[in-house]
């Protein structure tokens, strides 16, 4: 996705999250690319799509029982207007945000460390998911490829925590000490039991290819406000909307 388009989309996602968190007091708990929808920028596209199908129908499969299976027409062509409004969807797993929640939430690759350790979560879990999602939009791949179900057969919590450690450094002791599952992954001294899993070459800098120079540094500073060990240290959606990177060369919407 072109960065200039994504900055506009990201502003709308953050506005939506700020509304959910500040006004509705809701934690989405399942933020992922599949749950971010873009409205058609022009409803005339639907009429044009119908005309195209009538004049040049896509392949069809005629079944023996009389059913017809149609191939979907997915290409609506280049943008004819400004990009449509962004919507956050799928609130089946949403929970109240003004109390500390517990339990397992989030798609695995977007899961926050406090959820992995089962130490309770709040609005900031959504902020973590959004931070990780930026790689899907900008780089066309997930940040934590080593635990992505699309590339590995079995998700592994220890591997996930190891990659987070490579990005952020060792987890603060007061953070890991309060997790119900901490003893599964950490020693009494607060170090990972399997430190050999921590990759030596994995970093924000090594995973960002779409930017360079000052733009890259600004982007990484922006991401660092979301991807932090301690939930209370992550910026809110409202605060992120004021970040210099998101408005660099592009106006606030």
Residues contacting residue 44 through CB under 8 Å, at least 6 positions apart = 80
> Quick check: helix, strand or coil at residue 25?
coil
Q: Which residue in the list 18, 30, 157, 243 is annotated as catalytic?
A: 30
> Which has the closest alpha carbon to 203: 165, 175, 157?
165
Tell me the HSE value of 29 on the side-chain side, using a 13 A CA sphere: 20
30 catalytic residue (yes or no): yes
Q: What is the DSSP letter of 128?
A: H
> Which has the closest alpha carbon to 161: 107, 207, 199?
199
* H helix runs in 140-177, sequence order: 157-168, 173-176
> Quick check: helix, strand or coil at residue 164?
helix
Catalytic positions are: 30
């Amino acid at each position: 996705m072109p960065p200039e388009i994504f900055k506009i989309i990201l502003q709308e996602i953050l506005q939506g999250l700020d509304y959910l968190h500040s006004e509705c007091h809701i934690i989405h708990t399942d933020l992922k690319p599949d749950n971010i929808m873009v409205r058609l920028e022009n409803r005339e596209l639907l009429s044009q799509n119908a005309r195209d199908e009538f004049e040049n129908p896509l392949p069809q499969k005629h079944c023996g029982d009389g059913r017809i299976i149609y191939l979907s027409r997915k290409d609506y062509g280049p943008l004819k207007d400004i990009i449509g409004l962004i919507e956050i969807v799928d609130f089946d797993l949403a929970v109240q945000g003004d109390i500390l929640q517990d339990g397992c939430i989030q798609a695995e690759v977007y899961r926050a460390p406090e959820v992995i350790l089962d130490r309770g979560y709040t609005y900031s879990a959504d902020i973590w998911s959004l931070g990780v999602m930026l790689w899907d939009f900008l780089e066309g791949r997930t940040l934590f490829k080593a635990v992505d179900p699309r590339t590995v057969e079995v998700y592994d919590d220890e591997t996930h925590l190891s990659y987070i450690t490579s990005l952020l450094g060792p987890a603060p002791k007061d953070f890991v000490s309060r997790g119900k599952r901490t003893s599964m992954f950490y020693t009494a001294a607060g170090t990972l039991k399997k430190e050999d899993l921590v990759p030596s070459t994995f970093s924000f800098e090594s995973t960002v290819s779409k930017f360079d120079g000052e733009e890259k540094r600004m982007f990484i500073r922006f991401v660092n406000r979301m991807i932090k060990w301690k939930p209370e240290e992550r910026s809110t959606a409202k605060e992120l909307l004021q970040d210099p990177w998101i408005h660099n060369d592009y106006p606030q919407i």
